[in-house]
Amino acid sequence: MVRFVGVENMVRWVRSIGVEQIVADMVDYLEADFTRWDQFDKTPRVASHSPYGVIELMPTSDRQTYSFKYVNGHPINTKIGRQTVTAFGVLADVASGYPLFLSEMTLLTALRTAATSVMAAKLLAPPNASVLSLIGTGAQAEFQALGFRSVLGMLTLRVFDTDPQAVQKLRTNIEPLGFDIVDAATVEDAIAGAHVITTCTADKTKATILRDDMVASSVHINAIGGDCPGKTELDAALLMRSNIFAEYLPQTRIEGELQQLDPKWPATELWEVLTGASPGRTSGDQITIFDSVGFAIEDFSALRYLSDSVADTDFFETIDLIAEPSDPKNLFGLLD
C-alpha cells in the first residue's frame, strides 16, 4: 500500500504544525539536501507546453529515494475561477522501484516555495532586514510573509498588486496574525525602504515589474514569478548590475530572469553558497537577486519532510496504487 496525503489531510497537518513552523522545518530539510548537492541526479524538468499553459514533470533522486512532482502553470485559469498552479508528487524507493508516498502538492508547493525563498534570503539579505516588500499578492503571498517572519523576524510588509481585492485578501488573512501591512499605490512606493523584495506575478509575458531605475542598492530581490521561457519580471539592466543566484543554472538560464542575458552571464548556484564554495552577499550596498524558478530537489525535500512528519500520525491514508501479487510472476493470478 502507498501512503497518501490528500488535501483534507494536508490542511489538517498544516493547521496542526502551523505555517511558520513548517517553513522553518522545511528550511532545515532544504539546507541539508542542497548541502549534499552532488548526491542528486539533476535534470531540467520535462515540460509539455500548450497555448493554455504548461504541464511539467520534475524528477530527481539521491540514489536512495526518487521523487517527482506533477505541476501545471496556467495563468489564464484564474479568469475562470481555477488556480494557476496545482501539483501532486511521489516518493519512491530506488532499490525496488516501488512508489511509497503520494501527496497533494498545491499547498505543499506554496510552502516549499516560501521555504526556498527564506533559505536564499538567509544567505543573501542585508543584515538586520525587517521590511519585506511583496509585489503580487496572489496565492503565494501569505506563505512568503509567514516564512520571512518565522525565520528572519521580518514584521513589516509593503504590498502592491494590480488587483486591489488580492491586497485586501492578504490583509484579511494575515493582519490578525500581527503583521504591520502598508498598502502601496505603486511598485515604487511598495519597495521604498524594503530590505527584501519578493516579486511574484503571474502573467506569462516578458514584464518589467522592477525597472532598473526603481531600485537603489542594499536590497535582496526574491524573484519568483519569472519561471518559464517568455515569462520574466525584471529589467535586464537591473540584472546586469546585481549579483545573481539560482537553484540549478541549466534550468534557470532557460526559464528564469537569466533567459534575458547571455548564456555565459556569471551567476552562482545556492548550494555553492551553502557549502562555502562561493560567497553570498559580500557588502551591505550590493543588490542580490535570487532568480527562483523552482527545482525538483526542493520538492524532494518538501516530500521528505512531510513523509517524516506524518509518519506516526493519522494525517495520511493508504491507497492500493500498486498491485502486489504473492508470486510476482503470477500477475494474472490476481484476476482469479
Annotated catalytic sites, by residue? 227
What is the Cα–Cα distance from 235 to 212, expressed in whole angstroms? 6
**Which residues from 122-151 bind a second copy, rule CB under 8 A?**
137-143
* Region of 126-134, 169-177, 183-191, 211-219 interacting with a second copy (CB under 8 A): 169-177
Residue 166, phi then psi, degrees to nearest 5: -70, -35
Helices in 40-163 by DSSP H: which ranges? 106-124, 141-152
Specify the amino acid at residue 18: G
Cα distance between residue 176 and residue 254, in whole Å: 40
294 sits near a second copy (criterion: CB under 8 A): no
| Stretch touching a second copy by CB under 8 A, among 69-77, 115-123, 149-157, 231-239 | 69-77
Cβ distance to a second copy smaller for residue 263 or 328: 328
For residue 233, state whether it binds a second copy (rule: CB under 8 A).
no
Q: Which stretch binds a second copy (CB under 8 A): 9-17, 119-127, 180-188, 216-224?
A: 9-17
Residues 133, 170: Cα–Cα separation, whole Å:
13
**Three-state SS for 88?**
strand
HEC profile for 275-324? HCCCCCCCCCCCEEEEECCCCHHHHHHHHHHHHHHHCCCCCCEEECCCCC
In terms of CB distance, is 8 or 180 closer to a second copy?
8
- Per-position DSSP letters for 138-157, written without gaps between them: STTHHHHHHHHHHHH---EE
Q: Distance (Å, rounded) from C-alpha 179 to C-alpha 154?
A: 9
Closest CA to 187 of 157, 159, 168, 222: 159
Binding of a second copy by 16 (CB under 8 A): no
Per CB under 8 A, the list member of 57, 237, 240, 311 interacting with a second copy is 57
Say whether residue 308 binds a second copy (CB under 8 A): no
The reply on whether position 225 binds a second copy by CB under 8 A is no
User: Please, which of residues 97-126 interact with a second copy by CB under 8 A?
Assistant: 97-99, 102, 104, 106-107, 110
By CB under 8 A, which span of 27-35, 238-246, 269-277, 317-325 interacts with a second copy? 317-325
Count the residues of the shown chain that bind a second copy, applying the rule CB under 8 A.
79
- Interacting residue with a second copy among 11, 216, 237, 311 (CB under 8 A): 11
Tell me if 335 contacts a second copy by CB under 8 A.
yes
Binding flag, residue 43, a second copy (CB under 8 A): yes
37-74: b or e for each residue (b if 16 or more CB lie within 10 Å)?
A: beebebebbebeeeeebbebebbbbbeebbbbbebbbb
The total number of residues shown for the chain amounts to 336
Backbone angles phi, psi at 184, to 5 degrees: -105, 145
Per-residue binder mask for a second copy (CB under 8 A), 259-278, x = binder: --------------------
Tell me, residue by residue from 79 to 98, as one string, x for binding to a second copy by CB under 8 A and - for no binding.
--xxxx-x-x-x-x-xxxxx
Give the C-alpha separation, 45 to 59, whole Å: 7
Q: Is 120 exposed, middle or buried (0-12, 13-18, 19+ CB in 10 A)?
A: buried
* 63 or 206: CB nearest a second copy: 63
Beta carbon of residue 61, minimum distance to a second copy (angstroms, whole number)? 5
Report, in Å, the least distance between residue 293 CB and a second copy: 17
Q: Examine residue 169 and tell whether it contacts a second copy (CB under 8 A).
A: yes
Site for a second copy contains 20 (CB under 8 A): no
Applying CB under 8 A, the span of 62-70, 205-213, 222-230, 233-241 interacting with a second copy comes to: 62-70
Output the nine-digit C-alpha cell for 1: 500500500
Q: Of residues 170-209, which lie at the interface with a second copy (CB under 8 A)?
A: 173-174
Nearer to a second copy, 215 or 310 (CB): 310
Q: What CA–CA distance (Å, rounded) separates 115 from 236?
A: 26
